[in-house]
A and B are shown apart, each in its own frame.
Chain A
Amino acid sequence: MARRVALVITLVLVVSGVSRTDAVLAQGRGAQAPATPPTPRAQAPIDLTGYWVAIISEDWRWRMITPSRGDFPSIPINVAAQKIAEAWDPAKDEAAGDACKAYGAPGLMRGPTRLHITWLDEDTLKLETDYGMQTRLFEFRGAPATAAPSRQGTSVAQWIIAGGGGRGRGGPRFGAMKAVTTNLRPGYLRKNGVPYSEKTVLTEYWDVHTETNGDRYIVITNTVNDPTYLQAPWITALHFKREPDAGKWNPEPCDARF
């Protein structure tokens, strides 16, 4: 009797569930491992490539247009930041050849921009904006050994593979990209001179949501940590909608005033 019970259980195992775990078990059975590990591009659980447009449905008055000097609700700035912001002078930035101060990664992504995302190579995701014509690189193999601080800093990325997908068996795959950006030159969180320092760390989680009508959205959950100018981490979310092509892509250089 006991033997029969064990046999039935074994049969149930074989018929019902093991097929989903065959990839894991295959290693234990001594199957051939791939000669080289898959590249980040091949591992991508979500497709971020293509053209995307920011929908400015939040903080419109501070994102679509340049607000007045001193107009900076929503950002948990400290007194040092307030003093700098209240002394904002775009003419000085222009004279210093620094018209792109509001286009560094922490401020750039809140701008009224389109994104063009492509794979630069198997390990690097490239993001371009038409707003200010900036380029961010997401490095999946780690940060370059030496890099000078820059407007877009150094972004180290990794995939977060989520459960519930087909895992390469034809079903949908799910996950997100996490990116941590450091090595930034000081810049502005908001166009009207709200500052961030070189100590800033920008942490982003990139998710893609596909709607039943086919619309696709990138949603980025952002945390800006700046011990110099913020009282608390500045936590926001941004959303971009997928566009079919480059038809509305319209690059323009940085503008310190508008």
Chain B
Amino acid sequence: MNDMTIRRTVLVACAVLACALPASAQVDLTGSYQTRMYEDYIERGPGEFMGNFTGMPLSDEGRAKALLYTSNLPSTYERQCLPQSAGVFQYRPVGFRVWSENSPDGNVLAWVIGGDNLRNDIRIWMDGRPHPSPNALHLAGGFATGKWEGDTLTARITHLKTAWIRRGVGIPASDDSVITLHMTRRDDLLTMVTIQEDPYYLTEPHVVSRVWQWNPRGTEFDRPQCNTANEIPRLEDTGIVPHQTPGANPEEDYMVRMFNLPKEAALGYAETLYPEYRKKIKGTYKPPADCVSRGPGYCCGWIETQGRPGGAPNLTCNDGGFGTLGPRGRRQGATN
């Protein structure tokens, strides 16, 4: 028995142990991912209609708070970063990066999600550490721990700051929100499922599933951090908080007027999320006139690539009152 024999034995041992070790990281999630806005396009692209809370299980408190929202509200210093938190990325039109942080011996300590959509990265600790005291610091990215369940990385995110669940329409999330995140990569597609619970503003978990696509060219970070600025000078140092008057939001029935939606659907009651609701309104719901004859109102075809390489020639659509889109993009030929 000599050094060569020992080496061989060690090599064989390592090979067998490699087969025997539990698989703690089955999939390498590292990379940049580009959004694919094939769901909720209007919300994530040009922006949602005010007062459109469809698909949400809002509590009365959540609904009341959302109805106070006005588009000037995010211009206040304190609220400019609320759309950049852990849950909102599902409703943003931008990509993100995923990378690992490793210990000196190569073990993954944390998976990190960062991007324009996040004021703070979501750092998913994989080393078994516990969540801190409820009184510990809350961040926009929260505090997250994760584990592998087969090829899915499951994370639990707590310690979030107050934020909006859906940007642009004011649907709120409290700092007691908890998000369960499932990340599953299949080939170049990354499916992100968020199950958000909020004891004040939601009556049941809000489930969203989205797909991103691996982007070998990398994702641009426009705003890795949220920087605040004075956006409306007349508000400076006044203490004024723009808001709608409770019970008098002129947009409260916008979806009713625009799309004939039942009000309980527009305002996010949980019963409207399930198939029996469709049966309930069958026979009473009347869709609005067709898009072509109705005129303005985001009622159009595929506009993401319009006028760009790969876009279909002559594809036109109506852009919410800004007139028919021209070949060079949005709002060409605007009439108001």
Binding site for B on A (CB under 8 A): 2-3, 5-6, 9-10, 12-13, 16-21, 24, 45, 53-61, 64-79, 82, 85-86, 112-114, 130-131, 160, 162-165, 172-176, 178, 205, 207, 209, 211-212, 215, 217, 219, 221, 223, 231-232, 234-239, 241, 248, 250, 252, 255, 258
Residues of B within 8 A of A221 (CB): 184, 186, 189, 191, 211
Contact B279 A252 (CB under 8 A): yes
| B281 nearest CB neighbor, chain A only | A65
Contact A174 B207 (CB under 8 A): no
Contact A59 B39 (CB under 8 A): yes
Check: B54 CB closer than 8 A to any chain A CB: yes
What 1/0 flags go to B288-308 for Cβ under 8 Å of A?
Answer: 111110100011111111000
Residues of A within 8 A of B232 (CB): none
Q: How far is the CB of A147 from chain B (nearest CB, A)?
A: 27
Distance between Cα atoms of A209 and B206 in the complex (Å):
15
The verdict on A77 contacting B22 (CB below 8 Å), with A2-B2, A236-B211 known, is no
Show 16 A/B contacts (Cβ-Cβ < 8 Å), sorted by A: A2-B1, A5-B6, A9-B9, A9-B13, A13-B13, A17-B20, A20-B22, A21-B20, A60-B265, A65-B278, A70-B300, A86-B290, A173-B150, A205-B191, A207-B152, A235-B211
The answer, among B3, B150, B279, for a CB contact under 8 Å with A2, is B3
B 248-302 contacts with A by CB, 8 A: 259, 261, 265, 272-279, 281-282, 285, 287-292, 294, 298-302
Known: A131-B275, A207-B191. 5 other contacts (CB 8 A): A6-B5, A18-B16, A82-B312, A209-B152, A248-B276
Contact A55 B315 (CB under 8 A): no
Residues of B within 8 A of A164 (CB): 22-24, 26, 148-151
Contact A79 B315 (CB under 8 A): yes
Q: How far is the CB of B190 from chain A (nearest CB, A)?
A: 9
Q: How far is the CB of A112 from chain B (nearest CB, A)?
A: 4
Residues of B within 8 A of A76 (CB): 38, 302, 304-305
Binding site for A on B (CB under 8 A): 1-3, 5-6, 9-10, 13, 16-17, 19-24, 26, 36-42, 54-57, 148-152, 154, 180, 182, 184, 186, 189, 191, 193, 195, 205-211, 213, 259, 261, 265, 272-279, 281-282, 285, 287-292, 294, 298-305, 310-315
Contact A70 B292 (CB under 8 A): yes
Q: How far is the CB of A250 from chain B (nearest CB, A)?
A: 7
Contact A78 B315 (CB under 8 A): yes
Pairs A-B, 3 closest by C-beta atoms:
A174-B150, A17-B20, A162-B150
The answer, among A16, A19, A174, A223, for a CB contact under 8 Å with B149, is A174
Contact B54 A13 (CB under 8 A): no
Contact B278 A6 (CB under 8 A): no
Contact B282 A74 (CB under 8 A): no
Interface centre among A219, A221, A239 (most CB of B within 10 A): A221
The verdict on A74 contacting B186 (CB below 8 Å), with A64-B272, A131-B275, A235-B211 known, is no
Distance between Cα atoms of A117 and B89 in the complex (Å):
32
Contact A56 B273 (CB under 8 A): yes
Contact A17 B21 (CB under 8 A): yes
Residues of B within 8 A of A16 (CB): 17, 20
How many A-B residue contacts, CB cutoff 8 Å?
A: 252
Residues of B within 8 A of A207 (CB): 152, 182, 184, 191
Residues of B within 8 A of A58 (CB): 39-40, 55, 208-209
Contact A59 B40 (CB under 8 A): yes
Contact A61 B304 (CB under 8 A): no
Distance between Cα atoms of A211 and B178 in the complex (Å):
13
The verdict on A114 contacting B275 (CB below 8 Å), with A5-B6, A65-B285, A71-B299 known, is yes
Contact A162 B16 (CB under 8 A): no
Residues of A within 8 A of B292 (CB): 69-70, 86
Residues of B within 8 A of A61 (CB): 54, 259, 261
Residues of A within 8 A of B303 (CB): 73
Distance between Cα atoms of A162 and B25 in the complex (Å):
11
Q: How far is the CB of A233 from chain B (nearest CB, A)?
A: 9
Residues of B within 8 A of A45 (CB): 150
Residues of B within 8 A of A78 (CB): 302, 312, 315
The answer, among A18, A74, A219, for a CB contact under 8 Å with B191, is A219
Contact B150 A163 (CB under 8 A): yes
| A113 nearest CB neighbor, chain B only | B275
Distance between Cα atoms of A60 and B211 in the complex (Å):
17
Contact B20 A163 (CB under 8 A): no
Residues of A within 8 A of B261 (CB): 61, 65
Interface centre among A76, A130, A232 (most CB of B within 10 A): A76
Q: How far is the CB of B243 from chain A (nearest CB, A)?
A: 26
| B311 nearest CB neighbor, chain A only | A231
Distance between Cα atoms of A5 and B2 in the complex (Å):
11
Q: How far is the CB of B168 from chain A (nearest CB, A)?
A: 16
Q: How far is the CB of A154 from chain B (nearest CB, A)?
A: 21
The answer, among B16, B149, B150, B206, for a CB contact under 8 Å with A57, is B206
Interface centre among B24, B180, B276, B287 (most CB of A within 10 A): B287
Contact A9 B10 (CB under 8 A): yes
The answer, among A5, A13, A21, A176, for a CB contact under 8 Å with B151, is A176
| A24 nearest CB neighbor, chain B only | B19
The answer, among B23, B55, B193, B310, for a CB contact under 8 Å with A217, is B193
| A163 nearest CB neighbor, chain B only | B23
Q: How far is the CB of A173 from chain B (nearest CB, A)?
A: 8
